[in-house]
Amino acid sequence: MRMGEFSRRTGVSQRSLRYYEEQGLLSPARRPSGYREYGEADVVTVRGIRMLLAAGLGTAVIAELLPCMVDEGRILEPACSSMLPDLRRERARVDEAAAALLAARDRLDALIELTAESGVTDEEACATVAARTAATAPSPP
CB 76 within 8 A of CB 62: no
- Helix, strand or coil, per DSSP, at residue 30: strand
pLDDT of residue 135: 75
Q: How confident is the model over 68-125, as pLDDT tens digits?
A: 888 776 667 777 888 888 889 989 999 999 999 999 999 999 999 988 877 766 777 7
3-state secondary structure (DSSP) of residue 84 = helix
For the entire predicted model, the pTM comes to: 0.68
Question: Is a pLDDT exceeding 70 seen at residue 141?
Answer: no
Q: What angle do CA 21, 48, 45 make, to 5 degrees?
A: 50
